[in-house]
Structure 1
Amino acid sequence: MKQSLLLLCFTVSVLTAKTQSVSDSIANLVKYYHDNGLFSGAVLVANGNTIVYKGAVGMANHEWQIPNTTQTRFRLGSVTKQFTAMLILQLVQEGKLNLNGKITDYLTNYRKETGSQVSIHQLLTHSSGIPNYTENESFFPNSVKPYSVIDFVRIYCSGDLEFKPGTQFSYSNSGYFILGAILEKMTGKTYEQLLKQRILEPLGMKQTGYDMHEYIIPGRASGYETKLSGYQHASYLNMGLPYAAGSMYSSVEDLMIWNLALYGNRLMADSLKKKMFDGYLELDKNIKAGYGWFNEQIQTPDPKKVINMIWHNGGINGFMTELARFPEERIFITVLDNASNNTALLFRDIIATVYGLPLEPKKPTLSYAIRKKIESSSIAEATDYFATIPEAEKKQYTLAGAERLINRWGYERMNEQQDLPGALKLFELNTKLFPNSSNVYDSYGEALANAGKYDQAVANYQKSVQLDSSRYRRASVRIAGFSNRPDTIRVMVDGHEMVLYKTGSKGPVIVLEAGGNSDHTSWSRIVPELAKRAIVITYDRPGYRQSITCSQPRTADRVAAELYEALKKAGIKGPYIIGGWSWGGAFARTFAGKYPAETKGLLLVDPATKESYDRMAKEYPDIYTGIFTTRYAGNQAAQDEFDAMLPTMMQASISDQQYKGKIEVLAAGSFKEWSEAEIPLKKIWIDELRSWSGKNKNSRFELVESGHFIQNEKPETVIAALNRLMEVR
C-alpha cells in the first residue's frame, strides 16, 4: 500500500510539472470528440485549487447559435443524488434523522408493510428493494404531468419490494425521491429551499440550482438528441419529477466549488461525511455504492498501482454528466454534455491522460463515417459497405461510441420513422461490428420480432443471453411471447399501408383497439391465452410502428372505417368481437355502431367517454386542462388523434344508438395513478362509466381493483369478459 501511495504521489507531481502538456492533450481530446459528433458541452479538470483545463465546445442553443461556455448551466440528472445525500447527512448530524431509521418513522402515511422494513441507509445505497419509478411503464406517458411530492411517492415510489432490503444493489430513483420527501417532512421546507439555504448559498454556487421548465435561468443550455438527420430537441420532461433524484443544474465552474467544499468542514464534519464516499454493496467488479457516489478502484498496467476514484454520472432528457474526484491526489474531473452523447468515453480518456495511462491513438470514428455514407447514399448501401469493409480499411477508424449511436439510430428508424427495413439493417450491422456485445443482439431480436421473423429473433435473444446471463428474464419473456406467433398481414387502405397481427387459427374473431399513444403490444399479455380458442386480431393504426402515416383528421369514424376495410382486405370475416382500451374505446364503440350486423360483442376496458370529459371540464376546469390537453411531442399520430377529440367523442356517442348487442365494461377502480387533486376526476370517470353502462340493458359493468392498464395488471379479468362475449349466441 505504501508503494502504491508513493506511485500516486509521483503521478501528482508529474501532473503539476507538466500542466500545460496535460491541458493541451485534454484540449485535443475535447476537439476530437466534438469534431466526430460525440460531444457537445463543457469540461473542467483541476488539481486542488489549480485548474488544469477548462473549455467548452458545441452549442448551448442551436436556434440562436449560442455556444457553450464553462459557465453554461447544464442539467445534472443523477449527480443531484450527492447533494441529496449531503442534506440527509446534515440532518443526521443535527440529530433529526437516524441512518438506521425506517421510512415510516418519518413518513407516517407511507405503506407500513414495506416502509417499516427500509432504512435511510438502504435508500442512500440503492439497496431498499423499492422498484425504480423510471422502470414503471406508466411513468413516461405521464412524465409531463405535475404531481405533488406526496402524490408521486404514493403513486410511483410505493411498489412491492423486489427483494429483502439490504441484500443487494438495484439502482432506484424512487429511493432518492423518498429521501427528498423525508427532508421536506422533517424540516418543513421544500427540497429546493433546503438545497439553496444549506449548500448553494453558503458555498457561493451562483450557477447552480433546482431546474424547472418555467424558470428563467440565465445561461441555461437546451438539451438535444443527436439523430441521423442532425440535432433535435430532447423530449419534454416535467422537472419536478426527477426531484431529489435528478432535478439540479450547474456549470463546470460551480461543480469545482462543490468539489473543494467536500474537503473542508463547512457543510459537515469529516467523520460523518466519510460515509458518503465509503463503498457498501458491490454493483460491479471494483465498484461499490456509497451515499450518492460510487467508489471505484481503477486498475492500471502496474499491478501494484490502483487509482481510487469517487464518482457519479447522470443522464436526463438531452443531457449527460460525468463527475469524479480523486481524493488522494485532489484531482477533479467533470464533463457536462447537452446532446445526449456518451460522455463516458471522453471522461475515461481524460482520466487516462491525467494519470499517464495507455491511450489509443485517435483516428476518425467509424460512426461519423457511417453517418456520412448514409447521407450521401442510403442506409442499405452504407450498412452493406461497412458490414463487409476490408480489415485494413476498418483499422483506419476507431469504434469509439459507434455501438451506442448505431443502436440509437436503429430505434430512431424503427419507432420514429416507421422504417423497419432501415432499422433492421442498422441493428444487423451492429451485431457484425460488435459480435461480443449482448445488447446489440437484444436490439436486433426486438426488430426481427417486429418484422415477424421470429426464428431469427429467438436466435438473437439467445445469443444475447449467452453473452450476458442477466438478460435471461427479459429474453425469456420475449421468447415466450413467440409461442403464439402472429401472422403479419399488410394491406393497403386509403392509399397507405396498415399492419395487422393475426394470432390463433380457429374460433370467433376478436379485434382489439389500442389506447391513445400506444400500439398493438398493449394487448400482448392476453393474446396468447385468447388465441387458444379464438382468432385474435391486433393492429397498429396509421402512424404507429409499421403502419404508414396518413392524412388528417383522425376521427373515430375514419379509424373505424379504416379498420373495417383492412379486415375485409385481409380476408378476416366477421362477426367480430371488438374491444377497445382507454382512447381506443371510442374507436371500438364507433366500429360497433357503424357495423352492428357484423359485431357480436363489444368490450370496453377503462374507456374514455364524452360524458366524463364534459363533466370533468365543467366541474374541475383547471385540473382537467392540465391532464387532458397533453401534447404528444414524440408521436405525431397520437397528436393527430388527440386533436380530433371532440368529433371522436361525439361520433362514439351517436354510434351507441346503433349497436344493441352485448357489452362488457371494465372500469379501473384504483386511484394509485391519480394525485390527490385528481382523484375527484377519477371518481367522475368511474361514475359516468357506470351510468353509461346502466343505460344499456345488454351491458355488464365491473369495477376492477386495478390501475388504467387492466389488461396488464389483471389480464384474467379481461380474458373472462371476452370469454363471456364469445359465449353469446
Structure 2
Amino acid sequence: MAQGDIDKIAEDTGFSGVVWIDRAGEIEFAKAYGLANRTYRIPNSLDTRFGIASGSKGFTALAVVSLVQDGVLELGTTARSLLGKDLPLIADDVTVEHLLTHTSGIGDYLDEEGDTEITDYVIGAAHELTTTEAFLPLLDGHPTKFRAGERFSYCNGGFVVLALLAERASGVGYHDLVRERVLRPAGMTRTEFLRSDELPADAAVGYLPLNGVDRSNVFHLPVLASGDGGIHTTAADISTFWRALFAGDIVDSVQEVVRPRIDVPEDSRRYGLGFWLHESTDTVMLVGSDAGASFKSMHDPHTGTTCTVLSNTSPGAWPIARAFTA
C-alpha cells in the first residue's frame, strides 16, 4: 500500500495512532497521526506508547510456554491442580493447552459473544484490579459453555486464568514473569504494564467512540493489565518483538507456538498458542480491541515483513489494517 493510500484512509476516518511497516528491520513506512491527549493537544509520535488490549495475550502465552519449556508447567497441566477450590465451575479436565487455544469451554467474565457494547462499564471496580488474584471474583460464577476441547470460543477470562496458573506454579507474579521471560529477552525496552490512572507523558490516552465527547477509557479497563491484555507498547517495540520471537530469543519452540491448532472459519483465520494465524499462509498476528484501544500487527516470517497499526480509539486501527490485507 502506498503512503498516499494510508494518508487518505487516515484523513477520511480521523485516524489517531501510528502505522509502521518494516522489512527485516528496515523501515519502509512509519507515521504518527492524531492526538495522544486531546485535552492538552499533545500529538501522537512514533515513540508514543499505546495500550494494545488483547494483543498482549501473545505475551501471556509466551510466558506460559517458557514455563512449560522449563518444566514448571505442562500443556497437559489441569487448571484444577493449581486452582484448588477456587473457580469451582471450571471443569476438572480443562488444561493449560485448552486455555491457550480458546478451547476450554469455560464461562467468560468478558464474553465477546454477548450483547455488550464497547462503551459499557462491565468490570466493576476497575481500580481494584491491580493483581491477577484480584480478578478471582470476576472470574467466578460463569457456567461452562461446552466440554473442553470441543470447539473454539474466544475467552478473555481463560487468559487471566493462565496468568493465575503461571503465578501459582512459578511463585512469581504475572507482571514480573512477562518482564523476565518475554520483554527482557526480546529487547522491548519501551513496553510496560502502565497504570491507567497514572499514565506517563509518552503514553496515549484511550478514547471511547462517543460522538462529540472526549471521554477516556480509565473506568472501562482494569487499572493494571493482566493476562488477557492491555500492556502499553510502541510500534518499534512490536517489530523488535517479532524479530526476537522468530530468532528463538524468547522460547525455543517457536514453531510449536505458531503451529495452527484450530481453524476459526468465522474469522477467516486459524489459531496457535496465543497467536492468530492467517487462514492459508504462515503470517502470524497479534490483534487487540477494547474501549479506547485497537491494534493489529501482522508478521510474515519468510520475508521478515511487519505491518503494525496502533490506535488510541476503539475503531481506529481497523480501516488501515483491513487495507493491508485487502
- TM value normalised by structure 2: 0.89
Distance in 2 between residues matched to 1:87 and 1:75, nearest whole Å? 19
Distance in 2 between residues matched to 1:309 and 1:61, nearest whole Å? 33
Conservation of the 8 A alpha-carbon contact between 1:224 and 1:339: yes
Conservation of the 8 A alpha-carbon contact between 1:223 and 1:338: yes
1:84 counterpart residue number: 60
Conservation of the 8 A alpha-carbon contact between 1:157 and 1:175: no
For the residue of structure 2 that corresponds to 1:142, the secondary structure is coil
Closer, same or farther: CA 216–75 of 1 in aligned 2, 3 Å: closer
Closer, same or farther: CA 175–293 of 1 in aligned 2, 3 Å: same
Q: Does 1:133 align with 2:133?
A: no
2:270 counterpart residue number: 288
Conservation of the 8 A alpha-carbon contact between 1:321 and 1:343: yes
Residue-by-residue CA offset, 1:554-573 (whole Å, 9 max, x unaligned): xxxxxxxxxxxxxxxxxxxx
Deviation for aligned residue 1:214 = 3.8
**Greater Cα shift, 210-219 or 229-238:** 229-238
Distance in 2 between residues matched to 1:44 and 1:139, nearest whole Å? 32
Closer, same or farther: CA 151–339 of 1 in aligned 2, 3 Å: closer
1:546-557, aligned counterparts within 5 Å? none
Deviation for aligned residue 1:106 = 2.2
Q: Does 1:345 align with 2:326?
A: no
1:324 counterpart residue number: 298
Q: Does 1:237 align with 2:237?
A: no
Q: Which amino acid aligns with 1:296?
A: H
Distance in 2 between residues matched to 1:316 and 1:275, nearest whole Å? 28
Deviation for aligned residue 1:87 = 0.4
Deviation for aligned residue 1:263 = 1.4
Distance in 2 between residues matched to 1:227 and 1:28, nearest whole Å? 28
Residue-by-residue CA offset, 1:380-439 (whole Å, 9 max, x unaligned): xxxxxxxxxxxxxxxxxxxxxxxxxxxxxxxxxxxxxxxxxxxxxxxxxxxxxxxxxxxx
Q: Does 1:265 align with 2:241?
A: no
Distance in 1 between residues matched to 2:37 and 2:89, nearest whole Å? 48
Deviation for aligned residue 1:218 = 4.0
1:221 counterpart residue number: 204
Q: Does 1:49 align with 2:31?
A: no
Q: Which amino acid aligns with 2:300?
A: F
Conservation of the 8 A alpha-carbon contact between 1:103 and 1:119: yes
2:255 maps to which of 234, 257, 274: 274
Distance in 2 between residues matched to 1:289 and 1:211, nearest whole Å? 28
2:145 maps to which of 131, 148, 162: 162
Alpha-carbon RMSD: 2.3
Conservation of the 8 A alpha-carbon contact between 1:282 and 1:289: yes
Deviation for aligned residue 1:242 = 4.8
1:198 maps to which of 161, 177, 181: 181
2:81 counterpart residue number: 105
For the residue of structure 2 that corresponds to 1:140, the secondary structure is coil
1:60 counterpart residue number: 36
| Greater relative contact order, per chain length (Cα 8 Å cut-off, separation 6+) | 2
Distance in 2 between residues matched to 1:213 and 1:343, nearest whole Å? 20
Conservation of the 8 A alpha-carbon contact between 1:79 and 1:292: no
Distance in 2 between residues matched to 1:132 and 1:315, nearest whole Å? 16
Deviation for aligned residue 1:281 = 2.0
Conservation of the 8 A alpha-carbon contact between 1:281 and 1:289: yes
Q: Does 1:252 align with 2:226?
A: no
For the residue of structure 1 that corresponds to 2:128, the secondary structure is coil
Q: Does 1:297 align with 2:279?
A: yes
Sequence identity percentage:
24
Distance in 2 between residues matched to 1:66 and 1:151, nearest whole Å? 34
Conservation of the 8 A alpha-carbon contact between 1:38 and 1:341: no
Residue-by-residue CA offset, 1:645-685 (whole Å, 9 max, x unaligned): xxxxxxxxxxxxxxxxxxxxxxxxxxxxxxxxxxxxxxxxx
Closer, same or farther: CA 75–111 of 1 in aligned 2, 3 Å: closer
Distance in 2 between residues matched to 1:207 and 1:165, nearest whole Å? 37
Distance in 1 between residues matched to 2:45 and 2:225, nearest whole Å? 25
Deviation for aligned residue 1:154 = 4.6
Distance in 2 between residues matched to 1:123 and 1:141, nearest whole Å? 21
Closer, same or farther: CA 140–292 of 1 in aligned 2, 3 Å: same
Conservation of the 8 A alpha-carbon contact between 1:323 and 1:335: yes
Closer, same or farther: CA 328–222 of 1 in aligned 2, 3 Å: same
Q: Which amino acid aligns with 2:313?
A: A
Closer, same or farther: CA 159–139 of 1 in aligned 2, 3 Å: farther
Deviation for aligned residue 1:120 = 0.4
Conservation of the 8 A alpha-carbon contact between 2:107 and 2:142: yes
Deviation for aligned residue 1:155 = 4.0
For the residue of structure 1 that corresponds to 2:48, the secondary structure is coil
1:701 counterpart residue number: none
Closer, same or farther: CA 254–141 of 1 in aligned 2, 3 Å: closer
1:614-625, aligned counterparts within 5 Å? none
Give the paired residue count: 318
Residue-by-residue CA offset, 1:423-456 (whole Å, 9 max, x unaligned): xxxxxxxxxxxxxxxxxxxxxxxxxxxxxxxxxx
Q: Does 1:212 align with 2:186?
A: no
In terms of Rg, which structure is larger?
Answer: 1
Q: Does 1:35 align with 2:11?
A: yes
For the residue of structure 1 that corresponds to 2:182, the secondary structure is helix
Q: Which amino acid aligns with 2:65?
A: L
1:114 maps to which of 90, 102, 122: 90
For the residue of structure 1 that corresponds to 2:208, the secondary structure is strand
Deviation for aligned residue 1:206 = 1.8
Deviation for aligned residue 1:327 = 1.5
For the residue of structure 1 that corresponds to 2:227, the secondary structure is helix
Closer, same or farther: CA 228–215 of 1 in aligned 2, 3 Å: closer
Q: Which amino acid aligns with 1:234?
A: N
Deviation for aligned residue 1:241 = 6.6
Residue-by-residue CA offset, 1:129-154 (whole Å, 9 max, x unaligned): 11121138897161425145335235
Deviation for aligned residue 1:229 = 2.4
Closer, same or farther: CA 200–235 of 1 in aligned 2, 3 Å: closer
Conservation of the 8 A alpha-carbon contact between 1:153 and 1:177: no
Which ranges in structure 2 are unaligned for 5 or more consecutive residues? none
Which ranges in structure 1 are unaligned for 5 or more consecutive residues? 1-21, 299-306, 353-729
Deviation for aligned residue 1:189 = 1.8
Distance in 2 between residues matched to 1:203 and 1:281, nearest whole Å? 27
For the residue of structure 1 that corresponds to 2:58, the secondary structure is helix
Distance in 2 between residues matched to 1:158 and 1:149, nearest whole Å? 17
Q: Which amino acid aligns with 2:190?
A: Q
1:333 counterpart residue number: 307
Deviation for aligned residue 1:198 = 2.0
